Amino acid sequence: MDIVKEVLEQQQQNLQKYKPITVEKTLEPTIDVGHMLVSDPNYYDDEQMKADREKYVLDLTRDNVQLLINSIWQLPTERIDESIVAKLPPPKALLPRARKLPVPKPLTKWEEFAKKKGIKKRVREKKVFDPVLDKWVPTYGYQRYKAEKEKDWVLEVPQNDPYRDMFKEKRDLRIERVAKNELARMKNIARAKKIATPRTGFVGPETASAKQLITASNIVKASTASVGVFQESLPNEKQARGIGIKELMPGEKRKKKTSTLAGEKRRNMEIVNKVLNKKPKIDIDRAISLQKAEARAEREAEDDGDDDGKRKKKGGKKAKQFSRKKPKGGQGKRNHSKRAVGRKRR
């Protein structure tokens, strides 16, 4: 009996290590088996979260995963290669896309024509046998170019023209084919993006339009000494029309620009801002000169006051002030022994 009791206790301990597959929650979680997604609307326990956060989150995750696994085991299963596989149903939740839905690539002009006429694309062979080289050569790619170069190592010159380079002409034709294919590719892109292109080819934004060319030709024609009166007209020449064309033509009377309320308001505001934001100019040299002059005048006034106090007599009369006399000229008499004191005249 003791052995049986020990075995039962050991079994009970082993069972305690594993939690049951049944999970009970206050609110039933939303399970989307198609996305294998579980959304748990229940509130978490604050006390258990503060006591041991990692253990509480781990137990909560285990319960939700157990519910998802229980739902998967309820699906119909099948055996494939000794493995039991469950077929997932279509998803219920709508997940947002990281990028927009892919747009089908627009058809080129040739693809549209082939689709309209029912032409099917033929699969090109990667290699063909060349009887001249007596070997298999690729139908496209850089290896094809090497094979052609090896095959056409010598070219016949028509009419034995010594100044004609057949290798250069062949290279130019190849460059022209590449440019033609590039032009067709650019046209297909422009047509797919619904961009209007001229029939002459694909031009960039820096190319002048027909209206601009007509305007330029009329201005050049009127820029002569006769203002275009004796200038011959070109065949099928058109006259430039539009707003502001006459102002560009030489010899035409300039129209007076009409002033608008918005323009007048803008000009007035510019004048007001210029006046209000005007800073006074400070002349440092002139300020220093004025300061020196005021200081000199103050010193002279003080000196005059001291001299007047010293020169007063006991009777109260002022002392006689001596001043330097203004130098005089010779007054018609010239003394050679005495130097003249005035301005020397010449």
Residue-wise pLDDT for 145-169, tens only, equals: 888 888 888 888 888 888 889 889 9
Residue with tokens 């292109």: 197
Residue with tokens 């469950």: 86
Q: Which tokens sit at 111?
A: 């693809």
Residues constituting the chain: 346
d(CA 277, CA 270): 10
Chain centroid, CA 243 distance in Å = 33
Quote the CA–CA distance of 134 and 228 in Å, as a whole number: 71
| pTM for the model | 0.33
User: How many Å apart are CA 238 and CA 329, to the nearest integer?
Assistant: 91
What average pLDDT does range 271-291 have in this prediction?
79
Q: What are 318's two structure tokens? A: 């002022």
Beta bridge partners of 32: 37
As a whole number of Å, the end-to-end CA separation of the chain is 158
224: pLDDT strictly greater than 60 = yes
Close Cβ partners of 14 (under 8 Å, ≥ 6 residues apart): none
| 27: Cβ contacts below 8 Å, ≥ 6 apart | 41, 42
Which residue type, as a one-letter code, is found at position 203?
V
Nearest to 329 by CA among 319, 316, 342: 342
Model confidence at 313: pLDDT above 50: no
Measured between alpha carbons, how far is 287 from 161 in angstroms, rounded to an integer?
91
Q: Are 128 and 139 in contact (CB under 8 A)?
A: yes
Question: How far lies 103's CA from each of 96, 193, 303, in Å?
Answer: 17, 13, 101
Strands 127-130 and 135-138: antiparallel
What are 94's two structure tokens? 């709508």
Residues 177-209: tens digit of each pLDDT: 999 999 888 888 888 888 877 665 555 566 677
> Which position has the token pair 């285990």?
62
Query: For 14-18, 120-124, 247-251, 341-345, which range has the lowest pLDDT when averaged over its residues?
Result: 341-345
Grade residue 229 by pLDDT with cuts at 50, 70 and 90: confident
Q: How crowded is the C-beta side of 140, counted as CA atoms within 13 Å?
A: 4
pLDDT tens per residue, range 251-270: 665 445 566 788 888 888 88
